[in-house]
DNA sequence: CAGTGGATGCTCT
DNA sequence: GAGCATCCACTGT
């Protein structure tokens, strides 16, 4: 049985394009509730689809660093989205966490989501934040201390790669990563 | 299973 | 005022 390695700031102090695929298979818990990361997307500072592209604003300030913190924002006035900030500091790079395979605190998540179907509890960035009760209160918090608990994947996993979802710019970039064959994705890979 | 449209309100120009 | 890194319900195969 492999020991669980806690991810610290050093893990995130690398390119967002290195970090994003390595997060697939890692475990994310917030106050003990969560599961295995099965889908993420990378957004870098030269990326027209990324929030930081147009410069620093009140909303996206956390995305400019330091690395290893949560960047949380509200989308469509309704849903929260959780990101992990990567290096370098001073420009905006982050990984959007899009889906989890629920493993811990499933009854709590079912209650928060008012939904029984485990497959859909965390299958999407907004759904995931509702299930884990992530809100603006988590924006800027370090990922290596409570309430977060982030554990490295025990071994390499088969990756699926494709274009990102829900954007209107830079749609050609293949910066969406998933656990190949997972039933818990927000949408299947082609 | 695919496509469409409405909800809903914050953020920035 | 426009746009948004979404979700859900509803339509029609």
pLDDT confidence of residue A18: 98
Average of pLDDT values for A174-187? 96
**Cβ–Cβ under 8 Å, residues A53 and A92:** yes
Indicate the helix (H) or strand (E) that contains A39.
Answer: strand A33-43
**Which pLDDT score, from 0 to 100, does residue A153 have?**
96
What Å value separates CA A81 and C1' C7? 13
Q: If you compute the radius of gyration of chain A from its CA atoms, what whole number of angstroms results?
A: 15
- Nucleic acid strand B: bases within 7 A of protein CB: 7-13
**Confidence at A65, pLDDT banded by 50, 70, 90:** confident
Residues with CB under 7 A from strand B: A 54-55, 57-60, 74-78
Q: What global pTM score does this model have?
A: 0.96
Provide the CA A38 to C1' B5 distance, Å, integer.
29
Between CA A93 and C1' C2 the distance (Å) reads 26
Whole-number Å distance between alpha carbons of A184 and A188: 9
**Average pLDDT of span A18-24:** 98
pLDDT of residue A95: 98
Q: Is A22:A14 a contact under the CB 8 Å cutoff?
A: no
Q: What is the mean pLDDT of chain A?
A: 96
Classify A77 as helix, strand or coil.
coil
Residue A166, CA: closest nucleotide via C1'? C5
> Residue A3: what pLDDT?
72
Average pLDDT of A21-37?
98
Give percent of chain A with pLDDT exceeding 90. Answer: 97
Task: Give buried/exposed letters for A137-148 (b at 16+ CB in 10 A, else e).
Answer: ebbebbbbeebb
pLDDT at A108 over 80: yes
């Amino acid at each position: 049985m492999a020991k669980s390695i806690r991810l610290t700031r050093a893990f995130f102090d690398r390119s967002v394009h290195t970090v994003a695929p390595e997060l697939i298979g890692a475990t994310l818990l917030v106050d003990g509730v969560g599961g295995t990361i099965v889908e993420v997307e990378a957004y870098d500072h030269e990326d027209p689809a990324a929030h930081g592209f147009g410069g620093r604003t009140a909303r996206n300030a956390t995305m400019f660093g330091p690395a290893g913190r949560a960047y949380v924002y509200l989308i469509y006035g309704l849903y929260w989205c959780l990101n992990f900030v990567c290096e370098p500091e001073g420009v905006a790079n982050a990984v959007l966490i899009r889906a989890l395979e629920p493993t811990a605190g499933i009854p709590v998540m079912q209650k928060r989501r008012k939904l029984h179907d485990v497959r859909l509890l965390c299958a999407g960035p907004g759904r995931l934040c509702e299930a884990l009760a992530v809100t603006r209160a988590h924006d800027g918090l370090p990922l290596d201390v409570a309430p977060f608990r982030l554990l490295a994947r025990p071994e390499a996993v088969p990756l699926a790669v494709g274009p990102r979802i829900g954007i209107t710019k830079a749609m050609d970039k293949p910066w969406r990563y998933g656990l190949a064959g997972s039933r818990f994705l927000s949408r299947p890979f082609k």
